[in-house]
Structure 1
Amino acid sequence: MTEAAPAPFTVDDYRSRMDRAARAAADAGLAGVLVAPGPDLVWLTGYRVPAETERLTLLVLVPGQDPELVVPALEAPDAARATGAPALRLRDWTDGVDPYGLTAPLLDARGRFAVSDNAWAMHLLGIQSRLPDSSYVSLSESLPMLRAVKDAAELDRLAAAGAAADAAYDEIRRLPFAGRRETEVAADLDALLRKFGHEQVDFTIVGSGPNGASPHHEAGERVIERGDMVVLDFGGLRHGYGSDTTRTVHVGEPTAEERRIHDVVREAQDAACRAVRPGIACQEVDRVARAVITEAGYGEYFIHRTGHGIGVTTHEPPYMIEGEEQPLVPGMCFSVEPGIYLPGRFGVRIEDIVTVTEDGGRRLNTTSHELALVN
């Protein structure tokens, strides 16, 4: 794909995100948000920590205070070059200095803080040792919708990532399958995603024959045979935003049963996508897909949630699952991916990314849902 790269996010974009996070914390009755290196830090500041390190890096967002980033001195120059850095106060520390003692004065000693899920226990316990009356909750549980509603620029990136994944699928189904190992097809998918602009490939599931009955099967050395159903689930990041799509293909002519099961999954996926609209609960999307599959007699073989959010990571809130009563809001993006898995035989899954619009939903994947026949 040769279209121009999207305009980069600005310091005002990052400032707005940090302000939003601090306000959300206050609204939730929290004293602030503590963000360790990872996708939350990238989304909030544009700063991607250059390498895994045991040294403390921590963004501190407290309502009514300027955002501060506690960062090792040897990494401070990289942090200062991040797009969102002008909206931050950098507080660097050198080896031999107690970083927890440096961080503690920034926090309410008796406060309850949301902490990004990937924070190291060592660092959280270090801070708590300096503030024994403080307490902590996970960011995904306390502020699950923080990254869930995408703005126009984020939606453009997600749409472009989806189009790139679609282009990869259009090419992979024209390549030979029979007589090749799953790992070979997975390598082709990886190369195609990169060809169409992905800077990072997160997964290339190729589940042939009985392996397709395992939803998260890792591509292995099984040789794909004529007569196999093959589940292809692949995605990664393009311009920092995720793709994730699944199509199920068949090597040669399928049986009547294989066609029927594929049709059931296709109908369930289509019904769930058509159900998307503002105001309905996330669980309703799951219920709609599950009802179609259950009515067809395969309910016990649909063994996972119907969908997950997507953004700067390929799995994030919201989740389309029973019990999730969060209402859909325009700008939310998530997968719709029902499946049927017959142990020891084969599996079928169809997945699109869908974004909630003002009056319904829009698919970000547009390749055919028909059962594609491959060689």
Structure 2
Amino acid sequence: MSREPRDAVGGRAADAGSPREAVSGRAADAGDPRDAVSGRVAAVREAMAGAGVDALVLRPSPDYRFLGGGPDSRAGAFIVVTGDAVAETADPAGLVPEGARRVGVDPEMRVRELFGMAIEAELVPASSVLAPLRLRKEPYEVAAIGRAVAAAEGVLARARELAWFGATERAMAHRLRVLLAESGCEELVALRVAAGEHTAVPAHVPGERVINPGDAVTVSVCGRWGGYCAEVARVFVVAEPPEDFEAMYSVVTAAYRAGLGAVRPGVAVAEVARAVGEVIDGSGYGRFAAPRTCRGVGLGPDEGPRDGEDTVLAAGMTFCLEPAIYVPDLFGARVADVVACTERGPVPLGSSPHTLHVLDR
């Protein structure tokens, strides 16, 4: 079980707003998903015309769900969008207009599906049409993402009560998978358990490393609930933190708060990344900072807005704010939370604090 968290290195921006305000309310307030999908079709067709795309062919994927396809649609189903029709079919080539010159295909389309269409047209990614339209979420989508965040936070809350001392990373990852299944997670997108020096490896895969007293442990879960994705990452320590770890971790949480404070409509995503970077650079850990600080989440786990792009934030955009520091062969720390940009500023969709939890077993 975990002891009382340390108060020196946590907290949220005082004026960030209540996550409950962003994700609660009556269904009427959040909007009807069917109305939203219907309204998207006109916008999609306008974007298709602007891009010179005669048809879209989507297989089950985030883009497919954006236009009304369900997560449990039958195998072999496609959605085809043309200038005058939207239809679900097992034979997409039959619905592509004769003489079509450019056809947008789903980025997740399989090779055999592409060859199976056998159409004579230039194939381009459908995301060139759909990605800009998916940036801003409808109120019901923000609410759904908030519920996914709550489920992910619930998994991490239960994780704190597990016995970590003496277990391996791989064993703890397996226990987390069980907790995710019990939470109603529809799809496990990513799961990370890293202990000790492995916390300094960004893409570490849980292995046979035994978790011991004095280890820092980074745990992150990314899954899909109710069709929408969420990722939450937190840092624990077993018994006592390593030397100098708390000072480094306080920089990560301060960088998170700086990034959060920069979020508002009209601000470029690059400004959010710059706010995070200034805190880490000023601490002396700049050369150990993770290159990416945020990425969009929604129907997919990695979509716009992204730092490194020219996107300007607008109300309705949701993204994972994820500052991290990785000191090779020593330790690292990463926190990740889903944040919504609203007219009044940033709203974290979760409520779990960033305090450093000490595990005593």
Q: How does the TM-score come out when normalised to structure 2?
A: 0.84
Counterpart residue type for residue 30 of structure 1: V
Aligned to 1:188: 175
8 Å CA contact retained: 2:196, 2:217: yes
SS of structure 2 residue aligned to 1:179: coil
Query: Given the alignment of the two structures, is residue 67 of structure 1 paired with residue 86 of structure 2, yes or no?
Result: yes
Q: Which residue among 316, 341, 365 is the counterpart of 2:303?
A: 316
Aligned to 1:355: 340
Query: Given the alignment of the two structures, is residue 19 of structure 1 paired with residue 19 of structure 2, yes or no?
Result: no
SS of structure 2 residue aligned to 1:33: strand
Aligned to 1:118: 108
8 Å CA contact retained: 1:202, 1:237: yes
**1:305-357 deviation digits (Å, cap 9, x = unpaired):** 111111122222221x23x1111111111000010111222210011100110
Alignment CA distance shift 1:107-1:21 (3 Å): farther
Q: What's the offset of the Cα at 1:215?
A: 1.6
Alignment CA distance shift 1:10-1:247 (3 Å): closer
Q: Which residue among 166, 181, 196 is the counterpart of 2:153?
A: 166
Alignment CA distance shift 1:32-1:256 (3 Å): same
Q: What's the offset of the Cα at 1:256?
A: 4.5
Q: Which residue among 326, 330, 334 is the counterpart of 2:319?
A: 334
CA distance in 1, matches of 2:45, 2:53: 9
Q: What's the offset of the Cα at 1:192?
A: 2.6
Alignment CA distance shift 1:11-1:359 (3 Å): closer
SS of structure 2 residue aligned to 1:305: coil
Aligned to 1:109: 100
Counterpart residue type for residue 217 of structure 2: V
Counterpart residue type for residue 184 of structure 2: G
SS of structure 2 residue aligned to 1:211: helix
8 Å CA contact retained: 1:267, 1:292: yes
8 Å CA contact retained: 1:26, 1:32: no
Q: What's the offset of the Cα at 1:61?
A: 1.4
8 Å CA contact retained: 2:80, 2:86: yes
Name the stretch that deviates more: 331-340 or 288-297. 288-297
8 Å CA contact retained: 2:193, 2:205: yes
Alignment CA distance shift 1:10-1:161 (3 Å): closer
CA distance in 2, matches of 1:288, 1:140: 29
Name the stretch that deviates more: 345-354 or 20-29. 20-29
Name the stretch that deviates more: 142-151 or 285-294. 142-151
8 Å CA contact retained: 2:55, 2:100: no
SS of structure 1 residue aligned to 2:133: coil
**1:215-230 equivalent positions in 2, closer than 5 A:** 215-230=202-217
For structure 1, list consecutive stretches of 5 or more residues without a partner in the other structure: 72-92, 94-98
Alignment CA distance shift 1:189-1:107 (3 Å): farther
Counterpart residue type for residue 35 of structure 1: L
**1:219-245 deviation digits (Å, cap 9, x = unpaired):** 222111111111111021111111201
Counterpart residue type for residue 115 of structure 1: V
8 Å CA contact retained: 2:261, 2:346: yes
CA distance in 1, matches of 2:317, 2:164: 36
Q: What's the offset of the Cα at 1:251?
A: 1.0
Counterpart residue type for residue 297 of structure 1: G
Alignment CA distance shift 1:283-1:47 (3 Å): same
Q: What's the offset of the Cα at 1:275?
A: 0.7
SS of structure 2 residue aligned to 1:245: strand
8 Å CA contact retained: 2:44, 2:129: no
Identity %: 32
CA distance in 1, matches of 2:215, 2:351: 24
SS of structure 2 residue aligned to 1:34: strand
CA distance in 2, matches of 1:115, 1:351: 32
Q: What's the offset of the Cα at 1:117?
A: 0.6
Query: Given the alignment of the two structures, is residue 198 of structure 1 paired with residue 185 of structure 2, yes or no?
Result: yes
Q: What's the offset of the Cα at 1:125?
A: 4.8
8 Å CA contact retained: 1:241, 1:313: yes
For structure 2, list consecutive stretches of 5 or more residues without a partner in the other structure: 1-23
CA distance in 1, matches of 2:184, 2:115: 40
Aligned to 1:239: 226
Higher RCO, Cα 8 Å, sep 6+: 2
CA distance in 2, matches of 1:208, 1:141: 40
Query: Given the alignment of the two structures, is residue 344 of structure 1 paired with residue 329 of structure 2, yes or no?
Result: yes
8 Å CA contact retained: 1:31, 1:108: no
8 Å CA contact retained: 1:21, 1:33: no
CA distance in 2, matches of 1:62, 1:261: 53
Alignment CA distance shift 1:107-1:294 (3 Å): farther
8 Å CA contact retained: 1:353, 1:363: yes
**1:260-302 deviation digits (Å, cap 9, x = unpaired):** 1101111111110111101111122111112211221222212
Name the stretch that deviates more: 252-261 or 341-350. 252-261
CA distance in 2, matches of 1:162, 1:269: 17
CA distance in 1, matches of 2:230, 2:339: 11
